[in-house]
């Protein structure tokens, strides 16, 4: 038999506008019962879902790191429960008739047996610095792109005064 590390845990399937949470509760006879809940990703609903987890005595949560959609959930719940962020590649369910509810149940089942390795989540200060640097790089690329677009417009234009063209190329 597989060892159950987390007798009460939650698996979460994360999407842009909704999340599905399934609490897996295993009793002393090794019988697991499941309770599922669907919620939107608005702050109010995430807090209500956090209360639902608390009412089910669930402190261990595992969710897949889908794009950037996991971040608000993590920020709201990090003070009330222990969150394990899993790479989707490692918790992918078997092909077939997949639903969000089945996926969240699968994540909970993997997690309760400790088959999920958590991803590294840097401290808040590092995450904020990373976001600022990424934004700065994006702005620099945007600036270069606009310079190239202006250069292209001047290159393909007919009847452009050479003097105007030359002075514009310096900016």
CB 20, CB 98: distance < 8 Å: no
**Rounded mean pLDDT, 17-40:** 93
Q: pTM of this prediction?
A: 0.74
Domains and CATH numbers, the chain: 8-112 (3.30.420.10), 124-168 (no CATH)
In the structure, what pLDDT confidence band is assigned to residue 151 with cuts at 50, 70 and 90? confident
| Whether 84 contacts 61, CB under 8 Å | yes
pLDDT digits (tens, 9 = 90+) for 102-141: 889 999 999 999 998 888 888 889 989 999 999 999 999 9
Are 62 and 84 spatial neighbours (Cβ–Cβ below 8 Å)? yes
pLDDT in tens, 35-89: 999 999 999 999 999 999 999 999 999 998 888 889 989 999 998 999 999 988 8
Residue 91 pLDDT class (50, 70, 90 cuts): confident
DSSP for 63-93? EE--TTTHHHHHHHHTTTSEEEEE-GGGSPP
């Amino acid at each position: 038999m597989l060892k159950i590390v987390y007798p009460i845990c939650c698996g979460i399937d994360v999407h842009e506008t909704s999340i599905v949470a399934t609490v897996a509760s295993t009793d002393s006879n090794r019988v697991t019962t499941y309770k599922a809940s669907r919620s939107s990703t608005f702050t109010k609903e995430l807090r209500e879902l956090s209360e639902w987890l608390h009412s089910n005595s669930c402190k261990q949560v595992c969710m897949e790191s889908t794009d950037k959609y996991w971040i608000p959930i993590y920020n709201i719940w990090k003070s009330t429960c222990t969150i394990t962020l899993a790479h989707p590649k490692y918790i992918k369910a078997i092909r077939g008739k997949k639903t969000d509810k089945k996926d969240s149940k699968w994540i909970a089942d993997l997690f309760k047996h400790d088959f999920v390795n958590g991803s590294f989540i840097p401290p808040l200060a590092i995450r904020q610095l990373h976001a600022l640097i990424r934004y700065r790089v994006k702005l620099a690329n945007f600036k270069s792109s606009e310079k190239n677009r202006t250069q292209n417009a001047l290159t393909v234009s007919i009847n452009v005064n050479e003097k105007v063209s030359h002075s514009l190329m310096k900016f």
